Structure 1
C-alpha cells in the first residue's frame, strides 16, 4: 500500500480517457496469488479518470481486492468477518478523488484496476493535515507512514524538483493480473504527473510484491524500514507474514 495522502489539490485535466489493447506481463505479481479464479483472456479495456462520482464503485473494488490482502491491514485484523469495514480506512483512501489524478481501468463497465494518486509539493511535511483518524488500529498504520514520510525525505534526493506525483494505491482484480494493466496505470499516472509539473514519482510500499513490481517497472529503492525496527513503547508494532519484511519507498525520475 502506498498511502501518503495529503490535501494538495491540482487543476482538472483535459485528458478524460485512454484506450489500450496491449498486454505486456509483469513477471512479478502485484500481491500474493488469491483463490484461483477463471482466467480472463486479454480484451480491450479503458483507462479513465476516477472521481468522487466513482466513490462507491471504488470502495466495492477495494473491499474485494485490496483492503483485506494489504499486509498491515491483514496483520492488524483491520478487516474481518466480524468487522467487514473500517470507515477511517475507506475515507482516508478516497478523500482526494477529485484531484484530477486518480485512474481506473474499466472492462465492460466494471472497474478492474485502480491507481489512486496525488501530488506532493516540497515542504508538505511542514503543513498540518486536518484529517483525523480515530480508529486505534488504523492509527498505527498512519503513525508508521508519517515516520516513513519524514525519514525518507524524498525531495532531498531530487533538489531540482518541487513537485512529485505519488501512487497511493495500485491494485488490479485478481482475474486480470498479468495483462499489463498495472503497468499502464503507472504509465498514465506518469503522464498526468508531468502535466502538473512533477519531476518524479514516489511510491510507499507496504507489500513485498508491490515493491517487486515497481522494480520491474524501473523504479529505484530510495528508503527501507524493516517492520522489526518499528516499535512503539519498546514493542514491535507490525509482524506481517513473510515475505513482507519492510516498508519501502521507490522513486523514478521522469
Structure 2
C-alpha cells in the first residue's frame, strides 16, 4: 500500500534544532530542520542544481548537470519527491537561505526502476541503487513493510564541514516516531555522507565497491567515480 503523509502535524513542522558554526566564523548559531513548503520548491530545485549534481559521486560521474535530458528528468524527479510532502530543509534562524535539503520518501516494495525515465545515465544510477536493496533485503531483515529512505542530501557549499549533514540525518528520528515508522535506510555514495550517517547512528548493512560493481557489466561501471564504495546504511527507530 502506498504511504500518504497524514494531515497532522501541519506543514511546516519544525522537526529538529541544533547549534553549529556559522558560514564565515566560529560563532555558534542555531539551525532548524523543518518541512519544505510549496513556495520554496523552485528554490530547493536550484539548491540541488547548485550543490548536489556536480558533487554527488554518481551525478558527477555521469555529468548529469551537462545532460539536457537528464537535467529535465531530475527536475521532474525532485518535484515528485516534493509532492510526497516529506522533503526537509535546513535554515539558519533569522534567515530564509537554504542551508541543506534532504529528499525523503516512505518506501514500500516499489523500486526506483519503476519510474519511467528515458535518460540512460539516470537509469544506470538507479540500477546500481536497486542492486543494493536487492542484495540486502531490508523489509525481510527488519520485518517492516515500509521505511523512510532518501534520494539525496545536499548541503550548501558555504556551510560544509560544520556537521550539518549529521544533524539533518538526526532529524529523521523524530519524523519517524511521529509517523510510526520503525526504520530509516539509505544508500550513501560519498565518503562525507557515509561518515555523517555513521555519526548519526546509522549502521552499515551492505557495502559494494565500485570496482566490484564494474564486474557486473557495463551498466554498473562508473570509471573514475570519486568514491570507493556504495553503502546501504540503516537506523532502527525505537
User: TM-score band, normalised by the shorter chain?
Assistant: 0.7 to 0.9
Q: Which residue of 1 aligns with 2:6?
A: 11
> CA-atom RMSD, angstroms?
2.9
Q: Which has the higher contact order (CA 8 A, sep 6+)?
A: 1
Q: Give distance in 1, aligned partners of 2:49 and 2:134.
A: 29
SS in 2 for 1:79: helix
Q: Which residue of structure 1 lines up, in the alignment, with residue 221 of structure 2?
A: 237
Q: Which residue of 1 aligns with 2:71?
A: 86
Which protein has the bigger helix share? 2
* Aligned residue number for residue 17 of structure 2: 20
| Conserved? CA contact 1:79–1:86, under 8 Å | yes
Displacement of 1:230 in angstroms is 2.1
Residue of structure 1 equivalent to 2:124? 140
Alignment deviations for residues 145-166 of structure 1 (CA, whole Å, 9 cap, x no partner): 222222221122212x333111
Gapped runs of 5+ residues in structure 2?
A: none
Residue matched to 1:248:
231
Q: CA deviation at 1:49?
A: 0.7
Residues 71 and 240 in structure 1, CA contact (< 8 A), matched pair in contact too: no
Partners of 1:178 and 1:45 lie apart in 2 by: 15
1:32: which partner in 2? Answer: none
Residue 138 of structure 1, CA deviation = 1.4
Q: Does 1:155 align with 2:151?
A: no
Per the normalisation by structure 1, the TM-score is 0.79
Match of 2:36 among 43, 50, 58: 50
Per the alignment, do residues 128 and 83 of structure 1 end up closer, same or farther by CA in structure 2, a change over 3 Å counting?
A: closer
> 1 CA distance for matches of 2:179 and 2:9?
12
Separation in structure 2 between the aligned mates of residue 208 and residue 104 of structure 1, nearest angstrom: 22
Residue equivalent to 2:200: 217
Deviation at 1:22, TM superposition (A): 2.1
Rate the CA distance shift 1:44–1:152 in 2: closer, same or farther, 3 A: same
Q: Per the alignment, do residues 165 and 234 of structure 1 end up closer, same or farther by CA in structure 2, a change over 3 Å counting? A: closer
| Uncovered stretches (5+) of structure 1, i.e. residues with no partner | 1-6, 25-36
Distance in 2 (CA, whole Å) between partners of 1:147 and 1:184 is 28
3-state SS, counterpart of residue 202 of structure 1: strand
- Is the 1:101–1:192 contact (alpha carbons within 8 Å) kept by the matching residues of 2? no
1:201 aligns with 2:184: yes
- Corresponding residue of 1:113: 100
**How many corresponding residue pairs?**
231
Distance in 2 (CA, whole Å) between partners of 1:134 and 1:128 is 11
1:100 aligns with 2:85: yes
Check whether the contact 1:162–1:198 (CA below 8 A) recurs between aligned residues. Answer: no
- Do 1:170 and 1:182's aligned partners in 2 also have CA atoms closer than 8 Å? yes
Provide the residue aligned with 1:177 in structure 2. 160
Is the 1:88–1:135 Cα contact (8 Å) retained in structure 2? yes
Per the TM alignment, residue 181 of structure 1 is displaced from its structure 2 partner at its CA by 2.7
